[in-house]
Amino acid sequence: MTAMASSRQRSDRLQLVLATNNPDKVSEIAAILSGAYIDLLARPEELGDVAETGSSLEENARIKARAVLDSLGAPSTGGGGGSAGVADDTGLEVAALGGAPGVLSSRYAGPGASYADNVSKLLAVMRGVRDRRARFRTVALVAFADGREVVAEGSVNGVISEEERGKGGFGYDPVFIPDDGGGLSFAEMEPAAKNALSHRGRAFRTLAELLSVSGVQTGGSR
């Protein structure tokens, strides 16, 4: 996460409380935002599991970001303008599957599915399928306690490989080959190279730009 070297520096930086406690996502988001004037704070310990009941990536990101605010005692419908929660939701959209698994990507193989479970199911469903086009899409959202929101989206086109390739990354990275990745899967790339191309990298860089353009320097209202 970004450093907080002094209280003065801290007061000048935008502080965003993460909705995720997935260590892979936390590490990736921190790396993507390392050059931004943002401090990422850990998900509140008291925040339990948040049901992702939305029908879209944006709805699920909003549900999670608002849950952070509620856990901090800053109602997400107004007041307490000094708090901000940040969340994202990501979907893998496979053309031959009509856009599935999409919003259900993290639980494609069922509730509590592991990365390996989801990848195995996808490869099984895609066995023998010639059209292997796919898109990764991320929606990142910051929700402020005064009701404001900043939303950004990032996507990357590619294809689904016929077998797992590479040991890096997480999720569907071993079977997703981005169009501009030189034929490598995300799992075969160095983290910096992946982040430069990835859906999450594009979404969070755009989010940081939107926050900067809007003049937001802290979680409070301006």
Residue numbers annotated as active site? 89
The Cβ of residue 10 has, within 10 Å, a number of other Cβ atoms equal to 13
Structure tokens at 21: 């406690």
Q: Which helix (H) or strand (E) holds 149?
A: strand 149-160
d(CA 101, CA 103): 6
Three-class SS of 190-204:
CHHHHHHHCHHHHHH
Q: Tokens 């390739």, residue?
A: 165
